Amino acid sequence: MAKRAYSPKDVASINHKVLPFTGKWKEVFGEPEQGDTWFIMGPSASGKSSFVMQLAKMLCGLGGVLYVSLEEGVGLSMRQRLERFKMSEVQGAFRILTDGDIEELSKRLAKPKSAKFVIVDSYQEAYDVGWDYNRTAALIDRFPKKTFIFISQEDKGKPLGKPAIRLKYKAGVKVRTQGYRAYCQGRYAGQVSAYYSIWEEKEVEVYNTKSDGEETETESQPAL
């Protein structure tokens, strides 16, 4: 059966639920649609993991968050990050899963009151245990009301591997971290040139600020 063709009036009448971001989150990322896919990438030591944890904590105020930790598991670095960002404050809404079985995850998400947000770290590790692009896309499509957030390794400014590149194009929210700042480019980007400051103290190591407040960057703003 052919799919329905929508008129502009039909599209305008659709009730789209958005994530009610406020403050700096709204300034940088706008109000993304609930259920759209996120793709976050950045070089090593750019603040990516810290940004993701801050994002997770904020999202806990909107619903349950399941962090599929395939790269770090629950090792010491994960423990230290949880402590640094005081994730115990949202422990009722935050859970970490180290099992990369996509079928078991699908069963978990099908249960009542399951997490609204699923963070997969990283997609490359998930791919290695069976998350090829088609299976990943099928999982996303099966749960249209859930927001999937994929963390990606990168190589020379691009997602590492063709499946990750393809997944990036599917995502509505694209984020790249560099110099302890997170930049957004996607369908819902907020104010032009706005960025989320991940770790202000660390920014000093990357950006030089003159006495008059003018900023000189030692690394250029990343293109996505």
Looking at the structure of the chain, the number of domains it has is 1
Strands 158-159 and 154-155: what pairing?
antiparallel
Residue-range definition of the domain harbouring residue 92: 31-217
Q: Is residue 8 part of a domain?
A: no
Q: Is residue 12 part of a domain?
A: no
Q: Is residue 19 part of a domain?
A: no
pLDDT tens track of the chain, all 224 residues? 667 787 777 667 766 788 999 999 999 998 899 999 999 999 988 899 999 999 999 999 999 999 999 999 999 999 999 999 999 999 999 999 999 999 999 999 999 999 999 999 999 999 999 999 999 999 999 999 999 999 999 998 899 999 999 999 999 999 999 999 999 976 666 666 789 999 887 776 677 654 444 555 444 445 44
Q: Is residue 167 part of a domain?
A: yes
**C-beta of residue 68 within 8 angstroms of C-beta of residue 119:** yes
pLDDT tens, position by position, 111-131: 999 999 999 999 999 999 999
**C-beta of residue 119 within 8 angstroms of C-beta of residue 149:** yes
Residue 159 vs residues 103, 169, 176: alpha-carbon distances, Å: 25, 11, 10
pLDDT tens, position by position, 99-108: 999 999 999 9
CATH number of the domain bearing residue 125: 3.40.50.300
Q: Is residue 224 part of a domain?
A: no
Q: What is the spatial order of strands in the sheet that 65-69 belongs to?
A: 94-97, 65-69, 117-121, 147-152, 38-41, 173-178, 181-186, 196-197
Q: Is residue 159 part of a domain?
A: yes
User: Could you give the CA distance from residue 224 to residue 217 in angstroms, rounded to a whole number?
Assistant: 18
Q: Is residue 192 part of a domain?
A: yes
H runs (alpha helix) in the chain: 8-13, 23-29, 48-59, 76-84, 102-109, 123-128, 133-142, 162-170, 200-203
Cα end-to-end distance, the chain, whole Å:
37
DSSP state of 160: S
